[in-house]
Amino acid sequence: MLDWISRYRSDRMLKIWQDEEKYRIWRDIEVAVLEGWAKLGVIPQKIADEVRRVEIKPEEVKQEEFKTKHEVTAFVRVIEKKVSENARKFVHLGITSSDVMDTAFSIQILRSIDYIVDGIRLLENVISNLAEKYKHVVAVGRTHGVHAEPTTLGVRFLSHYAEFRRVRKFFLFARENLRFGKISGAVGIYNTVPPEVEAYALEKFGLKPEPVPTQVVPRDRYAYFIVACSLLSSAIERIALNIRISQMTEIGEMMEPFEEEQMGSSIMPHKKNPVLSENLTGIARTIKSAVVPALENISLLMERDISHSSAERIIFPQVCILSDFALSRLKLLLEGLKVDEDKIKKNLEISMGMILSSRALFEMVVAGYDREKAYKTIQKASFSVVDGKFPDFKTALISMLEKEDKKIAQIVSEKLELVKPQYIDYIFDRASSMPFEIKVMKRDDVFDPEGKTIADRLRKIGVNVKDIRVAKSYLISSYKDVDSDLIDFFVNPIVEDYTVELKE
C-alpha cells in the first residue's frame, strides 16, 4: 500500500476505481448488450437475466488473466464459468473488449465528475460565504507583492469564487463531451454487432454512441477530464498561494486552522505553518502533470494501439482521488480559516498613504494638472516618504503641491482619504448573480411539430437538412444556484428533457 493513498484519501473515488466496482460495471454492460440482442430476437431475454445475477471477484479475474494475459477475456471466462451452458455461449456476443472497457471508463469518469462538481459547488459556497463576511473589510491590494491600492478582503475571496465557478463550468463542458460509449465491435464499424444493440445498451447508462469510433472511444474526450482537473488544481494552487503568503509572519492577515494538540515543527514549538495550503500546492502540481501523458495518449495508431492503457490505469484513479481529496481538504481549511482584521488594518497603514497615489493622480488630472507632471510629483512625494523626509504620503504631496498650485493642493487634500471602495456592492451583485441557462427540449421520442415544419420548409428551398428539433432556453440571473425546485418550474419531465449550463 502506498502511503499517499491513505494520506490523501477519498474513499468514494477509490471505490469507483477499484476492481470490484469496475467488474460490476463491466457485467452490467455485458448484460445490457445481451438485452439488446434479445430485443432484436437473436437470443432469449433470460440469458441477460442470468448474467445479471453473476457476482465477480477480482481474484477470479486475476487468476484467469494470469493465463490469458488479457483482462477482458479473463473476465468473460469468469462469467462463462458461472452461467448455464446455454447462456455461456452468448456472453460477449459480437462485441470486443474495448466496447466494454471504454464504455465502463466513460461511466467511471462521469461518476467521478459528479463527485468533483459537487465538491466544487460546496467549495464555492464556503468561499462565497467568506466573501460576504469580509465584503467590506478594506485590505491593501497588492500587485507584484507590493502595496497598490485599497481593495477588500471580500473581493479577493470573490475572485476565487468566480474562478472555481469557471472550473465547474469547464467540468460541465467536459462532462457533455464525455457522455459517449461505444459498442460497435472490433474496428468500430458494427461488423459483428448492429447499431441497435449499441443504442439500446448505451441508453441504459445515459451515454450516446461515439459517432465515428475506431476500436476505441477517441482519447481526446478523456483528455478533457484531465485538463479539467488541471484547471481545478491551478485554481486550488492560487488560493493556496494566497493563504500561504497571507500567513507569513510579517503579513499575518490569515491563518490556517491549528488544532489543540497540533505541532508545527519537531524542534520549534512556536511554529504555526500553513501546511494545508503547502500540501495542496504539491498535490495540485502532481495533478497538473497528468496533462502531459493525457495529451500523448490521443495519438493512437490507425484503429488503435493500446499504449494509452497503462498510463490511464495509473493517472485517472490518481487524479480523481487527489482532486476529490484536495477539494475536501481545501473546504476544511477555509471553514477553519482565521482572519486577523487588526493586522489587515495595520498593514493598510504601512505604506503611509501611498496606496492612494492612483487616486491622487486621477484627481490632479481631472482638476487640470498635466498627467506626466502629476505622475512625477506623486512619484517624488512617495519616494520622499520612503526616505523618511515626510511622515506620510498626503503630507508630502500636499506640501509639494502647495508650492505649485494652492487650489489643486486643496482639492486633492479633500479627496485623499481612505474611503470604502464604492463599487464593492456592484461587483458582488454581478458576481453573485452570474447566469445559468436551462434549456428545455422535447424528449427524443416525442414528436416536435415545429422542428418538423421548419425542416420541411428548408428542404423545399434546397437546404439539405436531416432533422431539426426546437428547444427553449431560459437564461437566468439568480442569487441562488440552480436546483431541482427551480427546474421543476420549467420542465415537464413526462415529455421534456433539459440541460443546465453555467454562463457568465
Minimum CB–partner distance for residue 296 and a second copy (Å) = 5
| One of 145, 387, 445, 449 touching a second copy (CB under 8 A) | 145
Residue 432: burial class (beta carbons within 10 Å; 0-12, 13-18, 19+): middle
Cα separation, 96 vs 93, whole angstroms: 9
301 binds a second copy per the rule CB under 8 A: yes
Cα separation, 323 vs 298, whole angstroms: 22
Cα separation, 387 vs 267, whole angstroms: 40
| One of 46, 313, 406, 407 touching a second copy (CB under 8 A) | 313
Cα separation, 340 vs 254, whole angstroms: 6
Stretch that binds a second copy, among 44-52, 102-110, 120-128, 164-172 (CB under 8 A): 164-172
Q: Residues 6 or more apart from 73 whose CB is under 8 A from it?
A: 64, 97
Q: Residues 6 or more apart from 1 whose CB is under 8 A from it?
A: none
DSSP annotation string for 1-20? --HHHHHS--HHHHHHHSHH
Stretch that binds a second copy, among 106-114, 115-123, 295-303, 405-413 (CB under 8 A): 295-303
- Which of 6, 144, 266, 484 is labelled catalytic? 144
Provide the 10 A C-beta neighbour count for residue 353. 23
Stretch that binds a second copy, among 102-110, 116-124, 292-300, 401-409 (CB under 8 A): 292-300
Strand partners, 439: 473, 499
Residue closer to a second copy (CB basis): 119 or 319: 319
User: Residue 136 catalytic?
Assistant: no
44 binds a second copy per the rule CB under 8 A: no
Stretch that binds a second copy, among 49-57, 104-112, 113-121, 471-479 (CB under 8 A): 471-479
Strand partners, 146: 143
311 binds a second copy per the rule CB under 8 A: yes
Q: What angle do CA 163, 165, 171 make, to 5 degrees?
A: 110
| One of 121, 375, 392, 498 touching a second copy (CB under 8 A) | 375
Residue closer to a second copy (CB basis): 76 or 334: 76
Q: Contacts with a second copy in 421-450 (CB under 8 A)?
A: 421-424, 426-427, 429-431, 433-435, 439, 441
Cα separation, 161 vs 133, whole angstroms: 13
| One of 318, 390, 409, 416 touching a second copy (CB under 8 A) | 318
Q: Is 276 left (phi over 0), alpha (psi -120 to 50) or beta?
A: alpha
Minimum CB–partner distance for residue 140 and a second copy (Å) = 8
259 binds a second copy per the rule CB under 8 A: yes
Q: Kind of pairing, strands 208-209 and 180-181?
A: parallel
Q: All 3 cell numbers of residue 493?
A: 419531465
Q: Contacts with a second copy in 449-468 (CB under 8 A)?
A: 451, 454, 458, 463-468
Write each residue from 182 to 221 as x if it is in contact with a second copy (CB under 8 A), else as -, in one continuous string: ---xxxxxxxx-xx------------x--xxxxx--x-xx
SS3 194: coil
Minimum CB–partner distance for residue 40 and a second copy (Å) = 12
Q: Contacts with a second copy in 165-184 (CB under 8 A)?
A: 166-167, 169-170, 173, 177, 180
| One of 16, 117, 291, 401 touching a second copy (CB under 8 A) | 291
Could you tell me where the DSSP H helices lie in 336-388? 341-350, 357-366, 371-386
| One of 137, 199, 275, 418 touching a second copy (CB under 8 A) | 275
| One of 263, 336, 402, 488 touching a second copy (CB under 8 A) | 263
Cα separation, 409 vs 377, whole angstroms: 12
User: Residue 270 catalytic?
Assistant: no
Provide the 10 A C-beta neighbour count for residue 152. 22
Stretch that binds a second copy, among 6-14, 110-118, 330-338, 402-410 (CB under 8 A): 6-14
Number of amino acids touching a second copy (CB under 8 A): 217
Minimum CB–partner distance for residue 345 and a second copy (Å) = 13
Residue closer to a second copy (CB basis): 111 or 288: 288
Residue closer to a second copy (CB basis): 119 or 156: 156
Stretch that binds a second copy, among 47-55, 104-112, 262-270, 400-408 (CB under 8 A): 262-270
244 binds a second copy per the rule CB under 8 A: yes
**What burial letters (b/e) apply to 77-86, b meaning 16+ CB within 10 Å?**
bbbbebbeee
358 binds a second copy per the rule CB under 8 A: yes
Q: Containing H/E element for 180?
A: strand 180-181
Q: What angle do CA 466, 469, 474 make, to 5 degrees?
A: 150
Provide the 10 A C-beta neighbour count for residue 415. 15
Minimum CB–partner distance for residue 358 and a second copy (Å) = 5
Q: All 3 cell numbers of residue 123?
A: 467549495
Q: Contacts with a second copy in 107-136 (CB under 8 A)?
A: none
Cα separation, 391 vs 388, whole angstroms: 7
| One of 129, 159, 328, 413 touching a second copy (CB under 8 A) | 159
- Which of 70, 84, 265, 478 is labelled catalytic? 265
Minimum CB–partner distance for residue 130 and a second copy (Å) = 14
Q: Contacts with a second copy in 22-41 (CB under 8 A)?
A: 22
SS3 142: strand
- Catalytically active residues are 144, 265
